[in-house]
Chains A and B, each alone.
Chain A
Amino acid sequence: MKSADVVVIGAGIIGSASAYYLAKAGYKVIVLEKADVIGDGGSSRNGGGVRQSGRDPRELPLAMYGIENLWPTLSEELGYDVEYCKKGNLRLGKTEKHLKTLQGLTDRAVAVGLDVRMIDGDEVRQINPYLSKEVIGASWCPTDGHANPLKATLAFYMAARRLGVRYYTGETVKCLKKEHGVLRYVETNDEIFAADHVVLAAGYASRAIAGTVDLDIPMVTRLVECLVTEMEPKMFEQMLGTAEADFYGHQTRHGSFVMGGSSGYELYKKDNGTPINSSTTVPCIARGICRYVPLLSDAKIVRAWAGWTDVMSDGVPVIDTVEEVPGLVLACGFSGHGFGIAPAVGAVVKNLVAGEKTVCDISGLKYDRFYAKDVVA
C-alpha cells in the first residue's frame, strides 16, 4: 500500500493543475493515470482556447479568474513556455440567425461583467483582414486568447513532478473505498492507495469510479476532432470561433494552424476502442475554414487527430465536495471546454481540499444540481 495526503485520479490538465497547486501548498500528492501517456484525453485534443466569451455564466467566474490572475504568469510559474497569447476572440457570424445567437451569448456575458461586444463586418476585418467578406458581424472579447494545450498540460505535469508529486501511469482505478463513512482508499489493478482526500478528475472514466461510492454524474462521451496545417507565415493572433461552431482555432506560435470543429454527430460516433478520426468531421472543419478564411484553402493539412471528451447533461462541469462521501472532491465533466479554465480549477480544487473559501464563485457547479424536469431546485 502507498499513501499520500491527496490522491488525484487522472493526469490530464485538470488533474495535473490540481496536483501542482496542492503540492505547492505543501500537500503530499500521488497522481494515478490509467493511460501510459500523460494528458492523453481531452487535454491533448482541443483547440487551445483560453476564452471567457461564449461560456455558460456558471463557469465564467473560473475563466475570468484564470485570465486575470493565472494565465499571464503561467509560463514563469511552471518554468515552461505554454505559449499563452492574449489577443482576443472573434466569434463570427454570416447570417442574421448567427448574429442573434451571438447577441444572446454576448448579453449573458455582459450581464455577469465580461468585456465583450458585438461588432460589424468592417470592424471584424479591421481586427483580422484575412476573414471572408461574407462575415457580417462577430462578438469580440479582447481579453480572450489561446495557449498550447500540449505544452500547458505537460508543463503542469513536469512542474508538479518537480515539487515531489508522484505520478503512476498505467494504473486503472477499480474502486473507491470508505472507512468509517469517510473516503480512505483508492484501489487500482495492482495496488491500494490510502489518502485523506481523493480528487476525481478522470474525464468520462470519473462516472464509473464515482459509481463505486454510489454517486452518479450524468455525462456521456463525445468525439472531438482537430487538424493541424503545415507552418504558414504569421497571419493573425486572435482565437476564432463561429456562431455555427463549425470550426474554431488559432495560428500557433510555430506558424501552424490548429483547428477543431464538429460535424453534428459528435455524440454518436462509433467507439472502435481507439480514438481515430471519423470520415465526416475533418472535411467539415476544412469547409468551415475555407469559407471563413479563404486564404487558408491552399494550406496543407499535415495531421488530424481525435479523442473522447466527457459531456455533462447541462454542459458545465462538476467541481465540488460531496456530502455523502467526505474526502472526495469532484472535478470532471468539463464538456470539451476545460482547457482554458484548467489553472483556475487547479486553484479551486486546492481550496476545496484545504477547506478554504474558493478563489472564485463555483456555486453553479455543484454535484447535487441534477433534478428531474418536474422538480424545481
Chain B
Amino acid sequence: MDELQDRSRDIGPFVAQPDDDMIVCRCEEVTKGEIRKAVHEGLYTIPEIRRFLRCGMGLCQGQTCAKLVKSIVARELKVSPAVLEPATSRSPMRPIEMHVFADEKEDDE
C-alpha cells in the first residue's frame, strides 16, 4: 500500500500561514488557505480538491493555477508533486456557445 492510499495517515495538524488569504485560482477566487485546509480534511487528490473548492473549474479551466495548486497540495501531504495525478482536461478546448455546440447536423429539426 503506498503512502497516499491510507486516507487517515498522519500529515500533522493544519497550521495557519501568513499568506493563506492569497488567491491561487483567480477565476473562482480560491485561496491558498482553503486548499491547504481541504487537504487536512481528507482531500488528497487534485480532482477532489477541484470538485470541492472549484479551483481550476472556471473560465481558464486551470491553465493558470493547476501547477500552483498541485505544489500546495503536495507540500501539505509531504510528497513530491510528481506523484499527484493532474485533474482530467475536458472538452471543449475553449468555451463554446450552446447553439454552436448544438449545431451538429446541417438540417437540424
Interface SS of chain B: helix, strand, loop or mixed?
A: loop
Residue of B nearest to A279 (CB): B104
In the assembled complex, the CB of A337 is this many whole angstroms from the nearest CB of chain B, namely 20
- The reply to whether the CB of A356 lies closer than 8 angstroms to some CB of chain B is no
B98 contacts A299, C-beta separation under 8 Å: yes
> In the complex, A227→B57 CA distance in Å?
12
Could you say which of B1, B6, B44, B85 contacts A190, with CB atoms under 8 Å apart? Answer: B1
Given that A190-B1, A304-B92 are known contacts, is A161 also in contact with B97, CB under 8 Å in the complex?
A: no
CA distance A303 to B86 in the complex (A): 16
Partner of A300, one of B2, B6, B98: B98
Number of chain B residues whose Cβ lies closer than 8 Å to a Cβ of chain A: 36
Complex interface: chain A residues within 8 A of B85 (CB): 36
Complex CA–CA separation, A335 to B91 (angstroms)? 25
Asked whether, in the complex, the Cβ of A299 is within 8 Å of the Cβ of B1, the reply is no
Contact (Cβ within 8 A) A158 B41: yes
Do A296 and B98 touch across chains, with their CB atoms under 8 A apart?
A: yes
B75-96: which residues lie under 8 A (CB-CB) from chain A? 85, 88, 90-92, 95-96
| Contact of B51 with A by CB under 8 A | yes
Residues in chain B near residue A227, CB distance under 8 A: 101
- A300 near B47 (CB under 8 angstroms)? no
The stretch that binds B, out of A115-123, A167-175, A210-218, A308-316, is A167-175
Contacts A/B (CB < 8 Å), 19 sampled: A40-B47, A154-B43, A154-B51, A166-B8, A167-B6, A167-B42, A168-B1, A168-B5, A170-B2, A171-B5, A277-B91, A280-B104, A286-B102, A297-B102, A301-B96, A301-B97, A301-B98, A302-B59, A303-B91
